Amino acid sequence: MARRLRVQQQWRTGLATHQVQLAGYGVWGEQVPLSFLQTGFGIRGELDPEDPRPSSEAGLSLPGYLQTMHVYEFLTDRSLHLSYAFQTAPLIERQLGDVLIGPRLKLHQQYAVGTLENVERYQFFDFQTMEKGFWESGVELPQLVRIKNGSSFYNIGFGYFHRWGAYAFPRAADNGVWVMNLITSF
């Protein structure tokens, strides 16, 4: 039996926006198949077993996920992900035709923890568990450029996320990832 729960809350104080998200996952049973287990909350490509150092490619920022965690890096049957983000109002605003320059500052703090019973059952698969807790911090400049096209618009921004704590890689340069964020309406 598997259960998922995701709760999020957003509120404003003055011109700032706060966002909190809590996601939990649990699966119970004696013979739980690998496909039912949680593979973490990561979105980066898989780690190469031949070269355990992570690649330094940039990616897209996806809300609700850990930007520096790799897919299949962790395996759990019970896990919890907590994230908090603080976003300011536009730092500056300049209109250049259909383009608006209006960056905001967005700060992120994320934490995930998980456990896995019967670890020996899955030894054919290379993974870690998250008992020590996975930490990640980030800073973004969302809505750096806003392009209006008829009744729709496109927001483009960028940011940097860094993993730290018990699951940080030995080389500091391997713990960060640059991200681009895109927001659109149509």
> How many CB atoms are located within 10 Å of the residue 46 CB?
13
Q: What's the CA gap between 83 and 17, in Å, rounded?
A: 14
Among the residue ranges 19-23, 118-122, 138-142, 168-172, the one predicted with the least confidence is 118-122
Q: Any idea which residue has 């608006």 for tokens? A: 100
pLDDT score of 138 more than 90:
yes
**Tokens standing for 83?**
């994230």
CA-based nearest residue to 28, from 106, 101, 105, 118: 118
Q: What residues contact 105, with CB distance under 8 A and at least 6 apart?
A: 87, 88, 91, 139, 140, 141
Q: What's the CA gap between 67 and 85, in Å, rounded?
A: 14
Mean pLDDT of 104-113: 96
Contact 156, 140 (CB under 8 A): no
SS3 readout for 99-162: EEECCCCEEEEEEEEEECCCHHHHCCCCCECCCCCEEEEEEEEEEEEEEEECCEEEEEEEEEEE
Map residue 173 onto helix, strand or coil: helix
| Predicted pLDDT of residue 48 | 59
Q: What's the CA gap between 151 and 54, in Å, rounded?
A: 41
The band of 51, judged by pLDDT with boundaries at 50, 70 and 90, is low
Among the residue ranges 3-7, 61-65, 166-170, the one predicted with the least confidence is 61-65
Mean pLDDT of 125-154: 89
pLDDT score of 74 more than 80:
yes
Residue 26 pairs in a beta bridge with 3, 78
